[in-house]
Amino acid sequence: METDSGPGTAAQVPGLDGAAVLLYRWAVVHERLTPATLAQAAAETGVSRRATLTAVRTLTDSCLLTELPADGGAQEPAGWLPVSPQAATAQLLSDRDTALRAQEEALREQRRRIQVQRDGLAALTPIYLQARQHVFPQGTIDHLPDKLAVRSLLSDVIDSCRSEVLVSKHGGAFPPAALREALPRDLALLGRGIRMRSLYQHATRFDQPTRLHAEQLIGAGAEIRTLPEVLPQMIVVDGSLALLPARSGGALIIREPDLLAYLLDVFERDWENAAPFATGPQAAHDVSKTTKQSILVLLAKGLKDESIARRLGISLRTCRRHVSELLEALGAHSRFQAGVIAERQGLTDHPDRPAAADTATSAPATPPPPPAVPAQAAPAPAAPGADGPGVGPGCPGCGGAVAVPTAGPDRAGGRPPRHCSPRCRSRAYRARLKHQEAGPGDGGTDVTKPADPAT
């Protein structure tokens, strides 16, 4: 009997029970259903007489059975013809579909009117801000409520820009849709001869869409530099207006001179310490080293991997890989121990820029030997076998004298100091990392050689 398969089949046909599905199949096989064959259909499908009559009404209401006109004055139809599901769908749902289409068209019209009204109000924003600036010539701080108002104002401000636009963007990767939207506007700005300087995070160099976007802007004349950490989203136009993200949504419009001066000072400080945006193996190598040093600084502060990755704009997986490499390089067995070792070795000075740019300016800042060294001493600051208190072997970073406490070493583990200053220790650590990444070998031997006297 097919009754067993009825419920399983009916479960796949919404609105029809098992009896209706079985009766519909029987009618399709026999091409029609009549009052005389109802008993036969019920017997062959295993459905009761009452359930068969209920199924006929259900199929008729679903347009899967169409009634044949009654003969003479009979009240019951002469029979029922099965209809294909496609024809039943067209007949049953055409009116509903037409009504839904009319409702959708009405909704589209309402949305269009709302958008027209929103655009009209947004067009008054520049007038409002200009009036506020006239009433408050010393500067104001205003709030734009949503992204639409921000975009409208930004377009007007960029179009009226006369000299320079400063941009600071936080994050390791920017949404492709936002990049596509910003590219024509930025290229048009550069085409007018406006200077554009942007600060990104180091991690953007490893995101392909962001890297391609940056290369297009640089090719058009923009200046882009990167840092481990930058300010959140900030745009400064002509030094007279700044846009900052608002925590409640939208953006803050800054026209207050003192606050603008502060933001400009912060941007210029970061700009001087940032590295020019470049691609290639060497650029990636330098950025990776600076990122590792930034991670080391944050490790020493006790931050977790999630917080470090979020601040540096890198993925959690990349952050953990760098942490593992740092632990191995420092010989530490835990994050806490790595932070302590880095702090004691003076490696937690916040990095200014990649080592490639740092080496060019670091030599003049090397501190001179302490005046306690006698003028008639030998060329070496102190011979290894000398007994003179307070002067140890020469610094392996700069060749200067290293002061040693007379009462014995006071550093952890009883080790005497090997460098004359924290800066030399930091430089030696960076050189050791660079040597280890360049190829196999003992990275500790080369970096401990005294510097060339010319430097």
Spell out the domain ranges in the chain. Answer: 6-83, 125-276
Task: Flag whether the pTM goes above 0.85.
Answer: no
CATH of 6-83, one of 1.10.579.10, 3.90.730.10, 1.10.220.10, 1.10.10.10: 1.10.10.10
Q: What is the pLDDT of residue 85?
A: 87
Q: What is the pLDDT of residue 393?
A: 58
- In the block, tokens 């080293």 appear at 289
Q: What is the pLDDT of residue 450?
A: 36
Instruction: Specify the CATH class of 125-276 in words.
Output: alpha beta
Interatomic CA distance for residues 18 and 6, integer angstroms: 4
- In the 8-state DSSP scheme, what is residue 36? G
> Which backbone phi and psi does 232 adopt, to 5 degrees?
-60, 180
Tell me what the pLDDT averaged over the chain comes to: 74
**Does 6-83 match 125-276 in CATH topology?**
no
**List of the chain residues with pLDDT < 70:** 1-14, 72-74, 129-130, 132-139, 279-288, 348-394, 397, 399-417, 419, 422-423, 426, 433-455
Contacts of residues 125-134 at CB distance under 8 Å and 24 or more positions apart, as own/partner, are 125/149, 125/152, 125/153, 125/156, 126/153, 126/156, 129/153, 129/253, 129/255, 133/255
Interatomic CA distance for residues 410 and 423, integer angstroms: 20
**Angle, vertex CA 156, rays to CA 153 and CA 161, nearest 5:** 120
Sign of the four-CA dihedral 370, 373, 376, 377: negative
The residue ranges of DSSP E strands in 61-194, in sequence order, are 65-68, 79-82, 141-144, 164-168
Judge whether 255 and 279 are in contact, CB under 8 Å: no
Instruction: Report, in angstroms and rounded to the nearest whole number, the Rg of the chain calculated over CA atoms.
Output: 39
In this prediction, what percent of the chain has a pLDDT beyond 70? 71
Interatomic CA distance for residues 48 and 71, integer angstroms: 27
pLDDT (tens digit, 9 = 90+) per residue, 177-208?
888 888 898 999 999 999 999 998 887 887 78
Q: What is the pLDDT of residue 5?
A: 40
Report strand pairing: 195-201 vs 223-227. parallel
Interatomic CA distance for residues 195 and 190, integer angstroms: 7
Q: Which tokens go with 423?
A: 């800066």
